[in-house]
Amino acid sequence: MSSSTNKQLPQSIHGTEQHRQYGAFQNEIYREGMLKQRLPIVTTNPNTLEDQAKSMLKPTAFNYVAGGAGERATMDANRLAFRQWKVVPRMLRPTTHRDLRVTLFGEKYDSPVLMAPVGVQEIFHEDKETGLSEVCSEIGVPYILSTASSASIEEVAKSNGNGPRWFQLYWPQDDDITISLLKRAQANGYKVLVVTLDTWALAWRPADLDGGYVPFAKGTGNATGFTDPVFRQKFRQKFNATPEEKVLQASNEWVGDVFSGAAHTWEQIALLKKNWEGPIVLKGIQHPEDAKLAVEAGVDGIICSNHGGRQLDGAVGSLEMLPEIVDAVGDKLTVLFDSGIRTGVDIIKALSLGAKAVLVGRPAIYGLAVGGKQGAKQVLQGILADLDQSMGLAGIANIAGCNRSMIRRVQYGGDTKSSN
């Protein structure tokens, strides 16, 4: 095809027939390619998406999103775990019309796909969190804002508009600042609090260490703190200046509070429950006993996650632990899944093992790097289209049909990882 072929911007799913709203995106790609010679701006191949993003990013930015802890063994484990489960399709079932809708914490959502909290998005593209939250709203994907955002809680709420949004908390040691963050999030329409438990200190990440790069040190990714009235007041009392006037000192103060090197305890969950009116979800649960403790703590949900392999090297793949965790808690709380989702079939596998919804992180960020917010939108639409189409081909009509009868654990000697 001619090198002058135009790149296709993703089309909105709205206005199409409801039962084909996701799969219609696949048809649109073919139509645009065949009739207008317009191709997707981001590759639809999950195994080459990372390389495409790498070609667009500065090495420090790429290493930050693509890198993992240690030798990336946990990242490999996440993908290997998915390869050990295979879908067993059923035939002659009424799956022409698929229903992807789910109910989480009493709220109805269009699909089981959520945008994972990913920090410092401005290092990947100038559209950053405000752009990504905007397109998530357009396609009905709940946007989870990271505490390590390069846009404020208020700015993202505005760009997200009427879209569903949750707030992820990197839990400060200072209770006053924690309470202030929770109040701001609630006041700006964030419905669910996602508390990350596994990142009270940054892990040993060679890709970042070799480049001597941590964006927070110079203010990048600190917008949540720098715009917080309590943090600003305490900073002024100590330095007689604003964070903008003394960025390095402010960065040191903020990072020292959020990534303090001191872990919180189960007893401290009470503070969050007292100051958050809505569902609380704990992210980073890998052990069934911790899942049981979450039930005892009275939270509403947990996310089976190892932070995408970015924190503890040599850890078990999240999917490996998902069925044990689901069995441990039953229906006492809602179990979500994160770490390693790359395709629609990955989502089917996670749902079939008991997750009620999944978080997608790196793929959307790679799309953001390649094509800004429209690139991220295309990646998410592609994953949704893949999920919709694959459910139909597997004989699954709705999310409830994603159960353990649809999958088998099969280990092939040559079945190695695909993309990270």
Q: Which of 58, 375, 72 is nearest to 220 (CA)?
A: 58
Say if residues 49 and 366 touch (Cβ distance below 8 Å).
Answer: yes
Active site residue 307: yes
Cα 15 to Cα 19, 25, 264, 383, distances in angstroms? 11, 12, 47, 19
What SS3 state is found at 17?
coil
Cα 43 to Cα 235, 367, 375, distances in angstroms? 45, 9, 9
Among 14, 19, 97, 307, the active-site one is 307
CA distance 398 to 319: 21
CA distance 98 to 402: 12
Neighbour-count burial for 388-411, b at 16+ CB within 10 Å, e otherwise: bbbbbebbbeebebbeeebbeeee
| Residues forming the active site | 307
